[in-house]
Amino acid sequence: MANVLGIDIGGTGIKGAPCDTRAGQLITARQRILTPQPATPDAVAAVVGEIARHFDWTGPIGATFPAVVRRGVVATAANVDAAWIGTDAAALFSKVCGAQATVVNDADAAGIAEMEFGAGLHRTGTVIMITLGTGIGSAVFVDGELVPNTELGHLQIRGKDAERRASESARERDNLNWKKWAKRLNEYLEQLEALFWPDLIVVGGGISKKSEKFLPLLETRAQIVPAKLLNDAGIVGAALAARHAS
């Protein structure tokens, strides 16, 4: 089972592509569809099914989801419709796609991909990946082992969830220049370092392809680097999670 369809479900878009899990690479161009609003279980599942049909896919599927996911069941709904809480996303996606689906937290998936093929390859100690997008996702690894569903974007900074102040969407919402946004992001990273003392911080999400604009402005004790798989990390990680689950 080398080839798996990876699907990355985000707050603004849902994208997917078949992935070669041995090489950590997409086999074809991505298919991207806007996330339906409201992003109810049935509406999102319909898009997941549409992506699977686009690729005429009948094999295993891995999907990310922007929430705590335990054994395929969604447990939180910070950035999605509240109807997701308690939904067996793995069973729902398996039904609409007619194929076995594995569902994991979106940042965990991106971290899995980076640890196996990207910036975290061969790294030991504590590695934290953060994904900056609609919110802030996090994935924590200790000597290569994932600590799932950490959800560190909800740490409190100045009385608010960190993602309300330091996500990419917060930068756009408040029309911040790179210097001002980096100051907010640095405040968040200081809190992460005080709690976990990581050896490496990997920055992912769509904004990672502009890392040269803000990474030099950050001050961390840990080495901090951009994700190597950039915005494909979620797709690759979802595919890897499905392969590991088989």
The enclosing domain of 11 has a CATH number of 3.30.420.40
Mean pLDDT rounded to a whole number for the chain:
95
215-224 pLDDT tens trace? 999 999 999 9
Question: What is the domain range of residue 62?
Answer: 3-106+233-245
Please give the model's pTM, rounded to 2 decimal places. Answer: 0.94
Residue 37's CB is within 10 A of a number of other CB atoms, namely: 10
Q: Which two tokens stand for residue 84?
A: 């997701």
- Whether residues 96 and 58 share a domain: the answer is yes
Q: Minimal CA–CA distance to 229: which of 87, 15, 24, 20?
A: 24
14-61 pLDDT tens trace? 999 999 999 999 999 999 999 999 999 999 999 999 999 999 999 999
pLDDT > 90? residue 12: no
- Whether residues 63 and 98 share a domain: the answer is yes
Cα distances (Å, whole numbers) of residue 245 to 101, 102, 208, 227, 242? 10, 7, 28, 24, 5
Specify if 112 maps to a domain: no
- Whether residues 223 and 239 share a domain: the answer is no
State how many domains the chain has.
2
Q: What percentage of the chain exceeds 90 in pLDDT?
A: 92
Q: Minimal CA–CA distance to 136: which of 113, 170, 180, 89?
A: 170
Cα dihedral sign, 112-117-122-128: negative
Q: At what angle do helices 41-54 and 89-97 cross, to 10 degrees?
A: 40
Cα distances (Å, whole numbers) of residue 236 to 138, 179, 207? 16, 31, 18
Cβ atoms 14, 63 nearer than 8 A: no
Specify if 115 maps to a domain: no
pLDDT of residue 5: 98
Q: Minimal CA–CA distance to 102: which of 141, 73, 130, 68?
A: 73
- Whether residues 126 and 61 share a domain: the answer is no
Residue 206: pLDDT band with limits 50, 70, 90: confident
- Whether residues 145 and 89 share a domain: the answer is no
- Whether residues 240 and 169 share a domain: the answer is no
- Whether residues 101 and 137 share a domain: the answer is no
Matching residue, tokens 């901090």: 224
- Whether residues 91 and 9 share a domain: the answer is yes
